[in-house]
A and B are shown apart, each in its own frame.
Chain A
């Protein structure tokens, strides 16, 4: 069953804490993306990666970090520098026909 998995579904962060959101795909897509969505808003690009061991900042990268050590995995770390992290985080891939596939999302809440 091919697709994108994100975990956890809900994540709680304490002030000053770094947290990591997991994203795994078995679609064999090269490109992977992280978006943030705030209530009633569209999707804003945080980071993207076109290939293993390479990634680029999106529009709102400050306070976030990523790695791409394997084709299947693109974890996102929300650092303590991100002062307003409460949001819905979506991981996605892009196939060769330019179709974007989304994972189910992780909702991050601040305690």
Chain B
């Protein structure tokens, strides 16, 4: 089982609708979770971080975390064409005192005007 898994997509959503991106992780002790957005040919940029069970909202973005189910999701409300990108889920793993971020393979999202 991969440490972090995402549906690679592509996911197509009409403009103005809600885009829902999902991610599962294998390490039960993970405490820190992140969503990054990556435009084609560019480096990833942080959108949201979440550490506690429940929802965390920031503008049009909502991250949801369920540690019991080892599941983290990202909702994008009122989707815009500029939201079209690849979304990467990432989890902090601590191994022998060293922290590293483990990424899923990314979900490619397309918002259709």
Interface residues of A (CB under 8 A from B): 31, 33, 35, 40-45, 48, 50, 56, 58, 90, 92, 94, 98-100, 102-105
Contact = CB atoms under 8 A, between A and B. Distances in A.
Nearest to B101: A100
Given A42-B88, A98-B49, A98-B92, A90 B43 contact: yes
B29 interface: no
Contacts, number: 55
B90 to A, nearest CB: 7
Contacts of B98: 48, 50, 56
Nearest to A49: B98
Give chain A's interface secondary structure class.
strand
A100 B43 contact: no
A99 B88 contact: no
Given A42-B88, A50-B98, A58-B100, A100 B34 contact: yes
Interface of B: 4, 6, 8, 32, 34, 36, 42-46, 49, 88, 90, 92, 97-106, 108
Contact of B106 (A42, A94, A104): A42
Nearest to B33: A98
Q: Which of A44, A100, A102 has the most CB of B within 10 A?
A: A100
Given A102-B44, A103-B43, A104-B43, A43 B88 contact: yes
A104 B97 CA distance: 28
B90 A100 contact: yes
Contact of A42 (B46, B49, B103): B103
Nearest to A104: B43
B101 A94 contact: yes
Contacts of B99: 31, 50, 94, 98
